[in-house]
Amino acid sequence: RDIAEFCGFSQGMCYSFESPKVFDKLLIPEDSDLRKTVTISNPLGEDFSIMRTISLNGMLTSLSTNYNRRNKDVRLYELGNIYLPKQVPVTELPEERMQFTLGMYGEGDFFTLKGVVEEFLTKIGMHEKIEYDPNAGKPYLHPGRQANISYAGKVIGYIGEVPPTVASNYAIKDRV
Q: What is the pLDDT of residue 88?
A: 87
Q: What is the pLDDT along the chain (176 residues), one digit of tens a residue?
A: 999 999 999 999 899 999 999 999 999 999 999 999 999 999 888 889 999 999 999 999 999 999 999 999 999 999 999 999 999 888 999 999 999 999 999 998 989 999 999 999 999 999 999 999 999 999 999 998 999 999 999 999 999 999 999 999 999 999 99
Non-local (6+) Cβ contacts of 102 within 8 A are 4, 9, 75, 76, 77, 113, 116, 117
Condensed to tens digits (0 to 9), the pLDDT of residues 57-104 reads 999 999 999 999 999 999 999 999 999 999 988 899 999 999 999 999
Q: What is the pLDDT of residue 11?
A: 97
Q: What is the pLDDT of residue 146?
A: 96
Q: What is the pLDDT of residue 45?
A: 85
Q: What is the pLDDT of residue 114?
A: 93
What pTM was estimated for this model as a whole? 0.93
